[in-house]
Amino acid sequence: NAGVMQNPRHLVRRRGQEARLRCSPMKGHSHVYWYRQLPEEGLKFMVYLQKENIIDESGMPKERFSAEFPKEGPSILRIQQVVRGDSAAYFCASSQDRGPNTEAFFGQGTRLTVV
Amino acid sequence: GENVEQHPSTLSVQEGDSAVIKCTYSDSASNYFPWYKQELGKRPQLIIDIRSNVGEKKDQRIAVTLNKTAKHFSLHITETQPEDSAVYFCAASNPGGFKTIFGAGTRLFVKA
């Protein structure tokens, strides 16, 4: 089991460009969570998805950010028209179900730098 | 909204001493409390967790206590070693389990 795979590990974008971050959950996991970690700060919840459904996106900025988890393929976090403040590490986690006490496994993260 | 406060933000101890990190949460419905360790440049990894029906849990040098009435929980590391140096995050999860809220993290330095 390869674990949660995120790519790319590092992404550099100029202001105004689009960033696409990918997350392949662990085998058998159908629940995906995205978190953002600003430098020297904690993990902020962004969005929770199941296959083809957004369950909770209360942590997502209202504009420029979107997420999907299609039936086939990885979950995608998309940031349009990036700004310097979007520079952060974006972590994806997956879990087998959503019951209480369910451990979530984290990917290695994508470090986005906006120049 | 839900909130998790974590203290201290930085903790420096001598090798062999104990380290204690404390967290409080606001959502009384929270029933699952994991702790993650994040080494520099790496992913957060679960080190221990506790459920709301348990007051204390221990795993070798690591222990976690939970006081549901006061809505706080703590991580205790005994006989610290240099490799314990990392950032530690507490978290609280609601019964749905899908919105885990993290504390801001504690940067632990263990001096040899």
Interface A:B, Cβ pairs < 8 A: 63
pLDDT band at B3 (very low <50, low <70, confident <90, very high): confident
Across A33-46, average pLDDT: 88
Give the 3-state secondary structure of residue B30.
coil
Q: Token pair of A68, please? A: 């999907």
Q: Token pair of A9, please? A: 């590990």
Asked if A25 and A32 touch (Cβ cutoff 8 Å), the reply is yes
Contact: B101, A35; criterion CB under 8 Å: no
Task: Report angle CA B54, B76, B73 to the nearest 5 degrees.
Answer: 45
Contact: A44, B95; criterion CB under 8 Å: no
- What are the pLDDT digits (tens) for B62-109? 999 999 999 999 999 999 999 999 999 999 987 665 678 899 999 999
Asked if A105 and A3 touch (Cβ cutoff 8 Å), the reply is yes
Asked if B13 and B110 touch (Cβ cutoff 8 Å), the reply is yes
Position B1 pLDDT exceeds 70: no
pLDDT band at B8 (very low <50, low <70, confident <90, very high): very high
With beta carbons under 8 A apart, name residues in chain A contacting B89: 42-43
CA distance to A15, A72, B88, per residue, from A69 (Å): 26, 8, 29
What is the least distance, in Å, from the CA of A42 to any CA of chain B?
A: 4
Which of B95, B99, B105 faces A45 most closely, judged by CB atoms? B99
Query: What pLDDT was estimated at residue B41?
Result: 83
What is the least distance, in Å, from the CA of A15 to any CA of chain B?
A: 24
Q: Token pair of B62, please? A: 């690591």
What is the least distance, in Å, from the CA of B12 to any CA of chain A?
A: 17
For testing contact with chain B, the best of A37, A101, A108 (most B CBs within 10 A):
A101
Residue in chain B nearest A55 by alpha carbon? B98
Q: Token pair of A2, please? A: 């390869």
CA distance to A33, A76, A78, per residue, from A55 (Å): 10, 15, 17
Query: What pLDDT was estimated at residue A98?
Result: 63
What is the least distance, in Å, from the CA of B1 to any CA of chain A?
A: 11
* Cα dihedral sign, B67-B68-B72-B74: positive
Query: What pLDDT was estimated at residue B32?
Result: 87
Contact: B105, A41; criterion CB under 8 Å: yes
Residue in chain A nearest B32 by alpha carbon? A101
Three-state secondary structure of B57-96 = EEECCEEEEEECCCCEEEEEECCCCHHHCEEEEEEEECCC
Contact: A31, B98; criterion CB under 8 Å: yes
Position A1 pLDDT exceeds 60: no
- What are the pLDDT digits (tens) for A80-101? 999 999 999 999 999 887 655 5
Contact: B96, A98; criterion CB under 8 Å: yes
Which residue did the predictor score with more confidence, B69 or A40?
A: B69
Contact: A106, B104; criterion CB under 8 Å: no
Lowest mean per-residue pLDDT among A6-20, A42-56, B53-67, B84-98? B84-98
Would you give the end-to-end CA distance of chain B in angstroms? 41
Query: What pLDDT was estimated at residue A47?
Result: 93
